[in-house]
């Protein structure tokens, strides 16, 4: 990474920006000099984060966005360009999980997970690519370690995140000639509201669940800010020859 503000002058769009990893990425991008459009289905949460960024001296706006709807994705891209004049980076961070095997899953839960985690990457990327071609920008998606190696009772989540990994590689091939880089990050268990939701869904106490999640070489779970560190790197000029990669950030869990 070069310079003190690695994303100075960039315009970024971050989905799922109202909480968790998306929130950490939006805040960190703003500190790195980017203007940030925060997109989230929870409009109040996204607005709160945008206000926090502005109070800290950054540039940010928010927009209510259901990332599973093509029209919402197109509106988010349009609003980012209208507000800040261009679009350089899209971060697909919106995500949900349902802990269940295929025999336990309802069709509605399968559809919801695939829509938010995988279909959204297609829709938002499709809407953004014409703008990113102009700026020679990049797409960064938040996949998961469970998109590379499966885990128990998470069939839809694993399938959706594996789709993100391969969609990343396919888009990198298709849009590299346009000067667009496409990468994803595969986090391990990270201290977010969604991770604690998993404890409830699996019927395990939160203390026991988090202790089990920390059983990896670095002996702890990740922090959203650590995923944001990787996001800054992959979205900056320090990664200008990196595309089609799935960067594992998991404290050695997959090792």
pLDDT of residue 126: 98
* pTM: predicted TM-score of the whole model, two decimal places: 0.95
Pick left, alpha or beta for residue 35 (phi over 0 → left; psi -120 to 50 → alpha; otherwise beta). beta
The residue written with tokens 């920008």 in the block is 137
pLDDT of residue 2: 39
Instruction: Map out the domains of the chain with their CATH numbers.
Output: 11-188+223-249 (3.40.50.720)
Active site residue 157: yes
Q: Which of 29, 84, 146, 157 is catalytic?
A: 157
pLDDT of residue 200: 87
Mean pLDDT, consecutive 10-residue stretches, the chain (255 aa), reads 78 98 98 98 98 98 98 98 98 97 98 98 98 98 98 97 98 98 98 88 89 95 97 98 98 96
Q: Which 3-state string (H, E, C) describes 113-136?
A: HHHHHHHHHHHHHHHHHHHHHHHC
């Amino acid at each position: 990474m070069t310079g003190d503000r690695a994303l100075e002058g960039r315009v970024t769009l971050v989905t799922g920006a109202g909480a968790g990893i998306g929130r950490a990425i939006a805040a960190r991008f703003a500190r790195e000099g980017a203007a940030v459009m925060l997109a989230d289905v929870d409009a109040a949460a996204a607005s709160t984060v945008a206000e926090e960024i502005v109070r800290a001296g950054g540039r940010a706006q928010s927009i209510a966005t259901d990332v599973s709807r093509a029209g919402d994705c197109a509106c988010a891209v349009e609003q980012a360009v209208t507000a800040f004049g261009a679009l350089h980076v899209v971060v697909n961070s919106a995500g949900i999980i349902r802990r269940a095997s295929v025999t336990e899953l309802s069709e509605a839960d399968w559809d919801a997970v695939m829509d938010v985690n995988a279909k959204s990457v297609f829709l938002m990327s499709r809407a953004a690519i014409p703008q990113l071609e102009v700026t020679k920008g990049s797409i960064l998606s938040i996949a998961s370690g469970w998109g590379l190696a499966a885990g128990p009772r998470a069939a839809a989540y694993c399938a959706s995140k594996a789709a993100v990994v391969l969609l990343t590689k396919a888009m990198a091939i298709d849009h590299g000639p346009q000067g667009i880089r496409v990468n994803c990050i595969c986090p391990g268990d990270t201290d977010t509201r969604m991770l604690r939701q998993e404890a409830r869904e699996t019927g395990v106490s939160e203390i026991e669940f988090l202790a089990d999640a920390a059983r990896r070489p670095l002996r702890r779970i990740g922090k959203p800010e650590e995923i944001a560190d990787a996001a800054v790197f992959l979205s900056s000029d320090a990664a200008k020859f990196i595309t089609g990669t799935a960067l594992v950030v998991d404290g050695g869990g997959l090792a």
